[in-house]
Amino acid sequence: MLYQIGTLKMNMVKVGGPGPVDHPAYTHKIVYDYLSFVEVFKEAGFEVELLEYCDEEGVFHYKYWNEEDGKIGRSFRFDTRNSLEKLGMVSIIIDAKKLMKIEP
């Protein structure tokens, strides 16, 4: 089940970052939204499940995922900038699986 947690009303990420050349995001060459990110993986043959993302309206969606499958620091649960009252930093997080064919 996906939960709607909150809303982000600002455009936090863009190609080239927010402007200054010394900003860590200055080297961003492409920015994906959740739909285009999922499509890249599907086109490569993966089955994709969205776990965390913001939709077109800026609404943040969250689906529980098991930390034992891999802890993601920049996530709703583990990034210290986030709380139930305020979203500070969120990412698009997907679970992408591709079946492998193993020849005997």
- Summarize pLDDT for 25-54 with one digit per residue, the tens: 777 777 788 999 999 999 999 999 999 998
Structure tokens at 45: 């043959």
Strand partners, 54: 60
Strand partners, 61: 4, 53
Q: How far apart are CA 22 and CA 38, in angstroms?
A: 30
- Cβ–Cβ contacts within 10 Å for residue 13, how many? 15
Q: DSSP label at 47?
A: E
Domain ranges of the chain: 2-97
- Residue 11's contacts (CB-CB under 8 Å, 6 or more residues apart) are none
Mean per-residue pLDDT for 46-68? Answer: 92
What one-letter code names the amino acid at 25?
A: A
pTM: 0.76
Does residue 7 surpass a pLDDT of 90?
Answer: no
